Copies of this chain bind each other. A is one copy, B any other.
């Protein structure tokens, strides 16, 4: 019988192309600083031609979370669509080399593997411009029912909602997971994304989501409130667990009447915030899986996030499990 998995995720399979840029570049090209914007192939070519030398690192929000979970020792699977090109091979290699079960067939025709052009400004903020490429056609056909059915937790990114096919994949997978008694975890991804899909996201959270990840701007956008404090009781009423992150102010985690407030980790220098939320989710979910209390799971999220913002790219560079054990002073 095939192996039980801790977490299976569905997400856009995207190779990040990271480059330094200054605020003048962001302004000149009319980019939405700090957010994720979908761009077409012409916009992608134009932006790439204008931006500086890059570094390529496999990315994609849910895939980053899965890569972090696998680095911690969780058993994971991923569903995402790449093309059978050089970047697709790199992408597949990186997940599999990290121990992730990634069996989605590579597309043999259509657009190339997706890319996210990420401009990192001197304040370490990232501005993301995503050309979905082969991911644009991600749909229910890619949802491997066997893989999803083996998961204890299904993890879904809000970005999926931007494409009709991916939305169907999301629904199909969550139906399978719920029928098997698995938990559904959901990340709100981006406040612009929340603004595009507010009503549907609220319905999803009320009907299908057990574990919610959101940052301050996303959760306040979700409920159209002005302050984080107003949003907390609203989200608490609708999900089993919510991990609400606030960058350097740390995170608030709620589960029923239980609340844990966890400080951000101190780090010497924030280099690139790409993947901070994704890796927070890795650490936090890993804590939940291992039965840690909310405060410990939150700390694990903060440690994983701190690692990834200390260098370029949203995949861990340090052996995450060793780092976690060292920081917590205990086996994880």
Question: Hey, which bits of chain A sit against chain B, CB under 8 A?
Answer: 17, 19-20, 48-49, 51-58, 67, 85-87, 90, 93-95, 97-98, 112, 268, 271, 311-313, 315, 317, 319
B90 lies within 8 A of A56 (CB):
yes
6 pairs, CB–CB < 8 Å, chain A vs chain B? A52-B97, A53-B58, A55-B315, A86-B112, A268-B268, A271-B317
Most chain B beta-carbon contacts within 10 A, residue among A57, A268, A313: A57
| A112–B58 CA distance with the chains assembled, in angstroms | 20
State whether B53 touches A93 (Cβ < 8 A). Answer: yes
Q: A48-B93, A86-B85, A268-B268 are in contact. Are A20 and B53 (CB under 8 A)?
A: no
Q: Chain B residues near A17: list those with CB within 8 A.
A: 90
Complex Cα distance, B56 from A58, in Å, reads 9
Given A86-B85, A317-B312; A57-B55 close (CB under 8 Å): yes
Q: Which of A48, A49, A90, A319 is the most central at the interface, judged by chain B CB atoms within 10 Å of its CB?
A: A90
Q: Which of B51, B52, B90, B271 contacts A54 (CB 8 A)?
A: B90
Copies of this chain: 2
Decide if B86 touches A313 in the complex (CB within 8 Å).
no
Other CB < 8 Å A-B pairs besides A49-B93, A53-B94, 4 of them? A48-B93, A85-B86, A311-B312, A312-B317
Minimal Cβ-Cβ distance residue in B for A83: B86
Determine the residue in chain B with the shortest Cβ distance to A100: B53
A311-B311, A312-B311 known; A97 vs B53 contact (CB < 8 Å): yes
Among residues of B, the one whose C-beta sits closest to the C-beta of A22 is: B319
Q: Are B53 and A315 in contact (CB under 8 A)?
A: yes
Residues of B close to A52: CB separation below 8 A:
97-98
A106 CB to nearest B CB, Å? 14
Residues of chain B with a CB closer than 8 A to A49's CB: 93
- B54 near A319: Cβ-Cβ < 8 Å: no
Q: How far is the CB of A108 from chain B (nearest CB, A)?
A: 16
A103 → chain B, closest Cβ, in Å?
Answer: 16
Give the residues in chain B near A85, CB-CB below 8 Å.
86
A222 nearest CB across to chain B (Å): 33
CB-CB under 8 A from A87, the residues of chain B are 86
> Cα distance A58–B97 when bound, in Å?
21
Contact of A98 among B48, B53, B271 (CB under 8 A): B53
